[in-house]
Amino acid sequence: MERWAFSLVLCLSVAGFMASSHAGQSNGSFSFQDNFDIMWAQDHFKTSPDGQVWYLDLDKETGCGFQTRQRYRFGWFSMKLKLVGGDSAGVVTAYYMCSDTGPERDELDFEFLGNRTGQPYTIQTNVYKKGVGGREMRHILWFDPTEDFHTYAILWNNHQILFFVDRVPIRVYKNTDKPNDFFPNEKPMYMFSSIWNADDWATRGGLEKTDWKNAPFVSSYKDFNADGCQWVDPYPDCVSTTTQNWWDQYDAWVLSDDQKKDFAWVERNLVIYDYCKDNERYPKLPDECSISPWD
């Protein structure tokens, strides 16, 4: 099936899900100015006149990035992104959660891998626990992410981590009731976003290099929402940003029936790489690969 033909099929599948899902309940989007700091290259950052849209650009000199001032432990975290259009080979726009920059970090990643003009973007997701990643999945999309804003979100609680695109679950990462080394649930995390050059690996394994004649490459962001448990120092505790805590109730611990239908569709049509099916890379599959996402 052609990539653009996915749209009609998915719209039919998602209709019930959009009406009934708990995903995306919130108390409104947060102010960028009040919740984020620019991490580097302030001169590569711009904002719309009303401050509601942020723009990061990449040129041959540097990229740019921002992060939340607050850390969170569990919750729903979403942002609307519009990705670099045209020839974006070698360019990576990242949207992720991370505990710190040290070697023992926990991390939940969305990475959007650019491509030559006319070729689809690839979404790579990854999960780190105590500095160990290697849990990549890659998907293609059912729309062009450069034409308009789309919502990318992470639902994180002690039972599962869900990666969403426009409320459609594209990846399910489960915990167990036993101590393990694969599910990040102990460290609070900041939310980050950045744009950077990764033409040594990002497009066709590094075969397609960034064409700097097209610089600056610009990614756009708006409508950040964090509905979760905000970490409070110096106490090892957190305070909910809402009173409902819907993101840590039973309905958020498992996939709903509608989510299962959409997730099954994604698995059949959009997955192009899954580390749990890479027996050459992992002759002995990691422990988490034996956990069913459906339970």
Tokens of 201: 């690996």
**Amino acid of residue 253:** W
**Which has the closest alpha carbon to 94: 63, 132, 69?**
63
Q: For 128-160, how does the pLDDT look when each residue is reduced to its tens digit (9 = 90+)?
A: 999 999 999 999 999 999 999 999 999 999 999
In the chain, % of residues over pLDDT 70: 89
Delimit the domains of the chain by residue range: 3-290
Please report which confidence band the pLDDT of residue 56 belongs to, taking 50, 70 and 90 as the band edges. very high
Cα 164 to Cα 155: distance, rounded to the nearest angstrom: 8
How many CB atoms are closer than 10 A to CB 95?
23
192 and 96 Cβ atoms separated by less than 8 Å? yes
Residues with active-site annotation: 107, 111
3-state secondary structure (DSSP) of residue 172: strand
Q: For 217-231, how does the pLDDT look when each residue is reduced to its tens digit (9 = 90+)?
A: 999 999 999 999 999
Cα 9 to Cα 266: distance, rounded to the nearest angstrom: 11
Q: For 63-111, how does the pLDDT look when each residue is reduced to its tens digit (9 = 90+)?
A: 999 999 999 999 999 999 999 999 999 999 999 999 987 889 999 999 9
Q: For 4-18, how does the pLDDT look when each residue is reduced to its tens digit (9 = 90+)?
A: 333 333 433 333 333
Question: Between 2.60.120.200, 3.30.565.10, 3.30.1960.10, 1.10.357.140, what CATH number should domain 3-290 receive?
Answer: 2.60.120.200
